[in-house]
Chain A
Amino acid sequence: MRVAIVNNQAPFVRGGAELLAEWLHQKLEEYGHEAEIVRIPFQWNPPERIIDHMLAARLVRLANIDRVVAFKFPAYYVPHEDKVLWLLHQFRQAYDLWGTPFQGIPDTSAGCRIRNAIVGADRRHLTEVKRIYTNSKIVGHRLRLYSEIDSEPLYPPLLDSGPYHCEAYEDYFFMPSRINALKRQYMAVEAMAKVSGATKLVIAGPPDTPGDLAQLMDVVHEHELESRVEVIPRWISDDEKLRLLAGARGVIYIPLGEDSYGYVTLEAFHARKPVITLADSDGTHELVRDGRNGRIAVRAQGLADAIDELAGDRALAERWGQTALETISELDISWDRVVRCLTA
């Protein structure tokens, strides 16, 4: 079938949604479908523009296509008789971020009208689709809560899980991701200061800003952890990442309030590693089960306890790692399922 993957576009910005669109494109073709990515620009500043772009999406015509798979507001308004959503998120500023510092839309009467228009359009137009899948339970819960629409989670797999493997459970924990305040590498370092054994921590990823790196290094120096915390402040190659994953005792992934489980968790599970996450990391809990394939810890002390627990018991790490791998098949996180759902 001919599938149009409909996504938003912010010129010159590439994030997770762009990556997912490209992966889906590649997989649909591997499974014998034809696919094209259609990107509709979205500009939300000033807030009046939001309305313009909602209308623009309604006026776009998609011909020569059997199935639309749409990801995001407002591109998901594009009219098509055979439309399925793989919803990454609604416009959060009008929903769960309303009333927070990330609200974006002003609290004026004009701002409220814009918010009402978004809420109204979602309720009206998201019911005209064939099916709605979400990339996480949280997104599905919000859709139920705010728009009273049902959906089903469809977890995004890794593009290619083949190279992920486990070689050993050595005495270090691995923490791969961009370095910034929301990913909270600093908390892992603080936990390391409370850890009783000699285990090590390897942090790898490009810092968002030089300031992010400087703050992290300050915490390392403050606790004199230079010999036990290694920071690799750059993009690491796939080979490097695979090797560091393959040898780790476990993986630490503790972002603040994520919507989705994050590819880091999935990568760790494919490499048969337990994942230590935090109670307020949210999305990671869809995969991490406390005491079965990892730990859901509370604060730096809880993190330190979890590190000690796994550092002191290699067999435990191995058992949890095995369960982690089984979690992926249990939840059927696979392109087989994604392609089947989105083209059914």
Chain B
Amino acid sequence: MASTFVPFVEGGARIIVRDLAKAIRDRGHEVDIVELPFVSAWDEMLEQMLAIRLIDVSSSSDALIAIRTPSYLLRHPNKRLWFIHHHRGAYDLWGTPWQDIPETPEGLAVRSAIIAADNQYLPEAQRIFTNSQVVSDRLRHFNDLDSEVLYPPLGSPELFSRGQAEDYLFYPSRILGHKRQLLVVEAAAQLKTDARVVIAGVPDDPNQLSVLEEEIARGGLEERVELIPRWISEEEKAELMARSLGVLYVPFLEDSYGYVTLEAFHAHKPVITCSNSGGPLEIIEDGVNGLVAAPDPGSVAAAMDTLRSDPEAAAAMGERAHQTLQMKAINWDHVVSRLLG
């Protein structure tokens, strides 16, 4: 397996790499991981891409699975990609505030080279899989390439199980602006039922934590909203999830559905998301296995009230959430057999 990483940054790709390696080993194969450092600074990208192209790991394995871009540049006669995103600053984020390459002659040349390398070397792979429909659509749109969606399962799904639902909705996620915990706190102020909210996660953005705390104090929401602003263990998270009425996952425009959604589904819980949350919409169907609210406090509050006022309907959605995992083939047997097939 091959991927790239930024030292001392624990990203989603590293989790996928570790989980997949374990899943492949568990099925009796041998795996080693070539994880190359990579800095996404536009003016240092091309030489690093060349470095990856020069590295030869072709003789040591029967197959190579490349994950984070641009590890696909490694040469191998039997290469498969589980492509999780482009260098987005050169693609869909170009022309947005997140464009990370300047529109200078040098910047434009680098952008063209990145796109050219993708166009030339991505097709070397025997098969291309992605982690979401969004990424597959981008490969089709920008690079004219077909791919198959392989949803990444949880590393340890057995941790998550159904428990007796209480009166709260649970939002476990790093506390960050684009995860929109603030929207949830604002929604809590507009609840018509006695539903409560538990928000837990590492405050990656300390400012965002102060904003939340101020909003809770301002609205007198101390009884409504419980804030656990720290890292919680997987066991603690599973326990809080098992006893929840449902789960909240309302990020702004994520690529993938998010592990939170999967954890909730494994725990037989419906998930409330927003119509502009992106990836979660690939597996959350409004009124079926969760609720899709408009991204405003009133709509999110209404969704929470719906689950609180009809616990039986909420439980039924939770059951369908669990069935969704099977219907969408979100399990390692499927992933490993497709990647190695």
Closest A residue to B56 using CB positions: A43
Contact with A along B42-60 (1 / 0, CB 8 A): 0010011011101111011
The verdict on A59 contacting B47 (CB below 8 Å), with A11-B60, A41-B55, A43-B59 known, is yes
The verdict on A59 contacting B37 (CB below 8 Å), with A11-B61, A34-B8 known, is no
Give the Cβ gap from A92 to chain B, nearest Cβ, in Å: 20
Give the Cβ gap from A34 to chain B, nearest Cβ, in Å: 6
SS class of chain A's interface: helix, strand, loop or mixed? Answer: mixed
Contact with A along B1-36 (1 / 0, CB 8 A): 000001111000000000000000000001010111
Give the Cβ gap from B14 to chain A, nearest Cβ, in Å: 11
Complex contacts, B35 vs chain A, CB 8 Å: 39
Q: In the complex the two chains form, what is the Cα distance from A2 to B57 in whole Å?
A: 28
Chain B CB within 8 A of A322 CB:
no
Instruction: Find out whether the CB atom of B34 lies under 8 angstroms from the CB atom of A11.
Output: yes
Using C-beta atoms within 8 Å of the partner chain, give the interface range for chain A: 20 to 34
Give the Cβ gap from A204 to chain B, nearest Cβ, in Å: 27
Chain B CB within 8 A of A36 CB:
yes
Chain A CB within 8 A of B217 CB:
no
Q: For B39, B51, B57, B60, which residue has the most chain A Cβ atoms within 10 angstroms? A: B51
Complex contacts, A49 vs chain B, CB 8 Å: 56
Chain B CB within 8 A of A38 CB:
yes
* A52 touches which of B6, B36, B56 (Cβ 8 Å): B56
Chain B CB within 8 A of A21 CB:
no
The verdict on A63 contacting B7 (CB below 8 Å), with A11-B57, A11-B60, A43-B59 known, is yes
The verdict on A62 contacting B56 (CB below 8 Å), with A11-B32, A38-B7 known, is no
Instruction: Find out whether the CB atom of B37 lies under 8 angstroms from the CB atom of A62.
Output: yes
Chain A CB within 8 A of B327 CB:
no
Instruction: Find out whether the CB atom of A2 lies under 8 angstroms from the CB atom of B56.
Output: no
Closest B residue to A59 using CB positions: B51
Contact with A along B148-167 (1 / 0, CB 8 A): 00000000000000000000
Contact with B along A19-42 (1 / 0, CB 8 A): 000000000000000101011110
Give the Cβ gap from A74 to chain B, nearest Cβ, in Å: 11
Q: In the complex the two chains form, what is the Cα distance from A53 to B55 in whole Å?
A: 6
Q: In the complex the two chains form, what is the Cα distance from A148 to B66 in whole Å?
A: 41
Instruction: Find out whether the CB atom of B48 lies under 8 angstroms from the CB atom of A53.
Output: no
Give the Cβ gap from B20 to chain A, nearest Cβ, in Å: 16
Instruction: Find out whether the CB atom of B47 lies under 8 angstroms from the CB atom of A10.
Output: no
* A36 touches which of B8, B44, B57 (Cβ 8 Å): B8
Chain B CB within 8 A of A301 CB:
no
Give the Cβ gap from A104 to chain B, nearest Cβ, in Å: 16
Q: In the complex the two chains form, what is the Cα distance from A43 to B57 in whole Å?
A: 7
Instruction: Find out whether the CB atom of A61 lies under 8 angstroms from the CB atom of B50.
Output: no
* A40 touches which of B6, B41, B47, B55 (Cβ 8 Å): B55
Chain B CB within 8 A of A4 CB:
yes
Complex contacts, B50 vs chain A, CB 8 Å: 56, 59
Closest A residue to B57 using CB positions: A41
The verdict on A12 contacting B61 (CB below 8 Å), with A4-B7, A53-B54, A60-B51 known, is yes
Q: In the complex the two chains form, what is the Cα distance from A165 to B61 in whole Å?
A: 43
* B60 touches which of A4, A10, A59, A65 (Cβ 8 Å): A10
Chain B positions within 8 Å of A, measured between CB atoms, are 6-9, 30, 32, 34-39, 41, 44, 47-48, 50-52, 54-57, 59-61
Chain A positions within 8 Å of B, measured between CB atoms, are 2, 4, 9-12, 34, 36, 38-41, 43, 45, 49, 52-53, 55-65
